[in-house]
Amino acid sequence: MAVRTIEVRERVMARNDEIADQVRERLLAARVPALNLMSSPGAGKTLLLERTLTDLGGELVLSVITGDVQTQNDADRLARHTDRLVQAVVTAGACHLDARQILTALDAIDLAATDLLFIENVGNLVCPASWDLGESAKIVLFSVTEGEDKPVKYPKMFQEARTVVFTKLDLLPYVPFRVDRAIDFCRQVNPDLHYLTTSSLVAQGLEEWYAFLWAQARSSKRAG
């Protein structure tokens, strides 16, 4: 029998990236910046968003897509802080969101009436870094209960990100974590990162976070 070899040489992520471009075009047309929040499980993504929806929701129209392996608990929590629809994506085993899920979720969101879109990714420092969702920027949340050397252990996540938000600063007196050492590790993998320090629990550093979000929203409107 004749065995023939068919050359393909196509990137495995090519289809995801095509769909991510479609997401980007829709967001650009609607002038909506989309922030992809990523972290290890339990770093405080949902609590930061709860605070943000409560404090900024009266001034900016915020939409949220949440991703979880199972349950829509995060979406239910966030829905208590906004009258907007919070779109839950249950990945049913997958450890990250992909662009196709975001494109589908956008169908349920009124982009014309949205100032800023948050994508709360699945808690995982590995896989989400590899999947382009068509977002404007990737943001890593880094809690002080983690090791300072997370950036060098999970370099791709910190290389892909534009901003690092340190969380749970209220716990600093009780944990052996130094923010300056963590930033040194961040700089080893990405010298261009921008840093914010927060505690959602005691509302520390949130004004800087909100100023950052306002800047995102304003620059998007100007770009359009």
- Applying CB under 8 A, the residues found at the interface with other proteins are 1-13, 15-16, 93-96, 98, 126-127, 129-130, 156
Residue 95 Cβ vs other proteins, minimum distance, rounded to whole Å? 4
CB 122, min distance to other proteins, A? 10
Radius of gyration, alpha carbons of the chain: 18
Residue with smaller CB distance to other proteins, 62 or 105: 105
Rounded to a whole number of angstroms, the minimum distance from the CB of residue 14 to other proteins is: 8
- Cβ proximity of 67 and 78 under 8 Å: no
Query: Least Å distance between CB 96 and other proteins?
Result: 7
Beta-bridge partner residues of 141: 165
Minimal CA–CA distance to 169: which of 130, 199, 210? 199
24: number of Cβ within 10 Å: 17
Measured from the CB of residue 51, what is the shortest distance to other proteins in angstroms?
A: 30
Structure tokens given for 3: 């065995």
1 or 173, CB closer to other proteins? 1
Looking at the Cβ atoms of 9 and 222, the one nearer to other proteins is 9
Of 4 and 222, the one with the shorter C-beta distance to other proteins is 4
* Closest approach of other proteins to the CB of residue 18, in Å: 12
Q: Which is nearer to other proteins, 8 or 58 (CB)?
A: 8
Alpha-carbon torsion (31, 18, 37, 196), positive or negative: negative
Residue that the structure tokens 């471009």 belong to? 21
Beta bridge partners of 139: 37, 163
- DSSP lists the bridge partners of residue 67 as 89
Nearer to other proteins among residue 5 and residue 173 (C-beta): 5
DSSP string, 162-199: SEEEEE-GGGGGGS---HHHHHHHHHHH-TT-EEEE-B
Instruction: Reduce the DSSP state of residue 23 to 3 states and report it.
Output: helix
